[in-house]
Amino acid sequence: MHRVYLDNNATTPILPEVFEAMRPYFGERFGNASSIHRHGQDARAAVEGARESIAALLACHPSEIVFTSGGTEADNLAIFGLTAAGDHLITSGIEHDAVIHACKHAEEVGCEVTVLPVDAHGVIDPTDVRRALQPNTKLISIMMANNETGVLQPVGEIGKIAAEAGVFFHTDAVQAAGKVAVNVQEIGCHALSISGHKVHAPQGVGALYVRKGTKIRPLLYGGRHERSRRAGTENVPGIVALGKAAQLAKEGLVRGDEQKIAALRDRLQQGVLNQVQEAGVNGDGAPRVPNTTNIYFDHIEGEALVISLDLKGLAVSAGSACSSGAVEPSHVLVSMGLRPDRAHASIRFSLGKQTTAADIDFALALVPETVARLRELSPSFKRQAVRA
């Protein structure tokens, strides 16, 4: 069966160049990067080369990169590493669970947490951030791009507010890195998270940028890896892959690949809206990353649409991958003020570097007819048809 994958915000396929770069580190270059012999030196050189590529993508110094097991660990390291009991933290209602649940736990262990709202487009108002500051505020954690809607947050303005107030600013850039320019100097953040599997590297590797001079308490205790900021033998193949993916992402941004992805996304979005009534884009009008569109189709269940499309070969998602299967509507869409039934009727399409025009044609051929078929079975659609 022909299959098309439009769920790149859940995970991305590993690019062939990335796979080739990491392959030797599973075989002949198997060394431990802490060993002083040749095997170790080869592994160390590869880790440091990857660190340089990632630093180039984020516009920072290589020594400011701490490798982690992924985006979740990077977020947790920032939140628990920069705060202690008695501190106040500011975050938002649309963060990924890696931040939301870390902040909830921080609250349980004695921090105060303010969760900021977003407007109908899914954007945080920086003046709300300023207003939420308290004398004991230690950290602001606001994401750069939302995983469900792709909406970009005004992180540069928030960075300025953090600097004026003298508080730490962490941003989860897991869904922004590689899709838009991410420059830690321009953002003015002290910490920034990225994840390998969102940028065509493997799952289980990520990194946290930590601004030089920022004292961060480690989550893990052990050896002095990563300048004592993250203990544990480095995942050399994963790190090499993340470095290669960062290099390719940077080259792609320079070449303008993302504009091509945005054009495909816009064609998909417009094509769907032209053919389907009572549908609309969540986050429309706000700046978004180029690869994502989140569309509601009134009178249907998003999960049912995901399953029907999957049976025909198209992979998309309803809400975030981590919460699918849950009965609760997406917290992101609910925070934007969507009615629960509309939040339940929303689907995320997310493109990747390998998405083609033919993939978009395939989706455009399937989505309208599948929505129409599901609506025929929908009691609320039938009621409305009778009224009309």
Among the options 103, 111, 189, 322, which is catalytic?
322
Distances (CA, A) of 214 to 167, 226, 293: 11, 14, 36
Q: What is the rounded distance in angstroms from the CA atom of residue 344 to the CA atom of residue 333?
A: 9
Q: Which stretch binds ligand PLP (CB under 6 A): 172-180, 217-225, 246-254, 355-363?
A: 172-180
Q: What spatial distance separates the first Cα and last Cα of the chain, rounded to whole Å?
A: 40
> Which amino acid makes up residue 27?
G
With H, G, I as helix, E, B as strand and everything else as coil, classify residue 267. helix
Instruction: To the nearest 10°, report the CA torsion of 72, 75, 80, 82.
Output: 160
Which residue from 174, 180, 216, 264 is in contact with ligand PLP, where contact means CB under 6 A? 174
State the alpha helices, DSSP H only, in 224-281. Answer: 225-228, 236-255, 257-275
Which C-beta is closer to ligand PLP: that of 71 or that of 178? 71
Which residue's Cβ has the minimum distance to ligand PLP?
A: 71
Q: Which stretch binds ligand PLP (CB under 6 A): 51-59, 69-77, 220-228, 360-368?
A: 69-77
Least distance from C-beta 72 to ligand PLP, angstroms?
Answer: 3
Q: Which stretch binds ligand PLP (CB under 6 A): 35-43, 54-62, 85-93, 167-175?
A: 167-175
Least distance from C-beta 210 to ligand PLP, angstroms?
Answer: 17
Annotated catalytic residue 111? no
Could you please report the per-residue DSSP string of 325-350?
A: T-SSPPHHHHHTT--HHHHHTEEEEE
**195 interacts with ligand PLP by CB under 6 A:** yes
Q: What is the rounded distance in angstroms from the CA atom of residue 165 to the CA atom of residue 50?
A: 34
The two structure tokens encoding residue 205: 């590797």
> Which amino acid makes up residue 239?
I
**72 interacts with ligand PLP by CB under 6 A:** yes
Least distance from C-beta 224 to ligand PLP, angstroms?
Answer: 24
Which residue from 5, 33, 47, 71 is in contact with ligand PLP, where contact means CB under 6 A? 71
**172 interacts with ligand PLP by CB under 6 A:** yes
Which C-beta is closer to ligand PLP: that of 229 or that of 375? 229
Burial (0-12, 13-18, 19+ Cβ within 10 Å), 146: buried
Least distance from C-beta 9 to ligand PLP, angstroms?
Answer: 6
What residues from 115 to 144 belong to the interface with ligand PLP (CB under 6 A)? 143
Q: Which stretch binds ligand PLP (CB under 6 A): 71-79, 281-289, 294-302, 380-388?
A: 71-79
Which residue from 206, 238, 252, 283 is in contact with ligand PLP, where contact means CB under 6 A? 206
Q: What is the rounded distance in angstroms from the CA atom of residue 35 to the CA atom of residue 38?
A: 8
Which C-beta is closer to ligand PLP: that of 83 or that of 147? 147
CB atoms within 10 A of CB 313: 14
State the DSSP code for 174: T
Binding site for ligand PLP (CB under 6 A): 70-72, 75, 96, 98, 143, 147, 172, 174-175, 195, 197, 206
Catalytic residues: 322
